[in-house]
């Protein structure tokens, strides 16, 4: 969830309203004129992917919609990942122990990492395409992934719709880019 966008709902709702923009399950707005292109970091996608596969039920299934958090999954993560203790004394995984991942597990992991990096790149490319433009409103909504099927006709058929991309961190959210009239953000005494 984009907390910066969430904090701007009240402030930017009038602009959306003036441009006829209504999006179900709205979670926030940003004016793209205030944003800069970004060379997003993949973070530590390899470590995140191994953690997700260790917690997956069934085990090592990248398409699992269930996760387990117990001693067994902690043991699996400790086996497949290097860890260090941070300055606050918490355990933090730092790298993948590739020497312990072989065969089908290695193939699944490499494909999973590749796909996750592609999702990040797709979201970053859309952001960078519209960053700095004064005629684009970014809309964060909880209609990504499989939810899009139920809501897309309320969004992608509208004249203001430019593009939609699923959030790379949580695919149930999405970023929607909408064309706005730049003069609609002028704040007057009766707004």
pLDDT at position 40 over 80: no
* Domain identity same for 151 and 95: no
More confident residue, 184 or 75: 75
Read off the pLDDT band of 189 (50, 70, 90): very low
Average confidence (pLDDT) over 172-187 = 86
For residue range 101-151, list pLDDT tens digits in order. Answer: 999 999 999 999 999 999 999 999 999 999 999 999 999 999 999 999 999
Q: What integer pLDDT is reported at residue 15 of this predicted model?
A: 94
Question: Would you place residue 188 in the very low, low, confident or very high pLDDT band (cuts 50, 70, 90)?
Answer: very low
pLDDT of residue 187: 53
Tens of pLDDT, residue by residue over 52-101, are 999 999 999 999 989 999 999 999 999 999 999 888 888 899 999 999 99
**Residue 27 maps to a domain:** yes
pLDDT for the residue numbered 43: 66
Beta strand pairing status for 26-31 and 81-85?
unpaired
Which of 117, 142, 167 is the last residue before a domain boundary? 117
Same domain, 18 and 51: no
Q: Is residue 190 part of a domain?
A: no
Judge whether residue 9 has pLDDT over 90: yes
CA distances from 111 to 24, 53, 116, 122 (A): 33, 12, 9, 16
How many domains is the chain partitioned into structurally? 2
**What angle is formed at CA 92 by the lines to CA 87 and CA 94, rounded to 5 degrees?**
110
Alpha carbons 36 and 125: distance in angstroms, whole number: 12
* Greatest C-alpha distance within the chain: 67
How confident is the model at residue 103, as a pLDDT?
A: 97
- Residue with the bigger pLDDT between 39 and 186: it is 39
| 118: nearest Cα among 53, 45, 35 | 45
* CA proximity to 137, closest of 2, 16, 11, 6: 16
Record the pTM: 0.81
Do 55 and 99 belong together in one domain?
A: yes
Predicted pLDDT of residue 191: 46
Which pLDDT score is estimated for 1?
Answer: 77
Report if residue 139 sits inside a domain: yes
In which domain, by residue range, is 176 found?
A: 3-36+131-185
Determine the average pLDDT of the residues in 152-177.
94
């Amino acid at each position: 969830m984009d907390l910066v966008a969430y904090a701007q709902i009240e402030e930017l709702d009038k602009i959306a309203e003036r441009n006829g923009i209504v999006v179900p399950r709205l979670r926030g707005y940003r004016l793209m004129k205030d944003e800069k292109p970004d060379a997003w970091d993949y973070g530590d996608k390899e470590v995140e992917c191994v953690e997700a596969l260790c917690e997956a039920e069934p085990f090592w299934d990248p398409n699992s919609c269930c996760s387990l958090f117990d001693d067994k999954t902690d043991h699996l993560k400790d086996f497949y990942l290097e860890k260090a203790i941070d300055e606050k004394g918490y355990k933090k995984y730092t790298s993948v122990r590739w020497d312990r991942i072989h065969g089908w597990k290695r193939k699944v992991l490499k494909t999973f990492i590749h796909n996750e990096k592609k999702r990040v790149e797709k979201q970053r490319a859309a952001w960078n395409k519209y960053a700095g433009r004064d005629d684009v409103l970014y809309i964060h909504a909880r209609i990504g992934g499989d939810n899009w099927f139920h809501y897309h006709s309320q969004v992608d058929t509208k004249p203001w719709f430019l593009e939609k991309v699923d959030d790379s961190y949580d695919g149930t959210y999405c970023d929607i880019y909408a064309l706005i009239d730049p003069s609609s953000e002028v704040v007057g005494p009766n707004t």
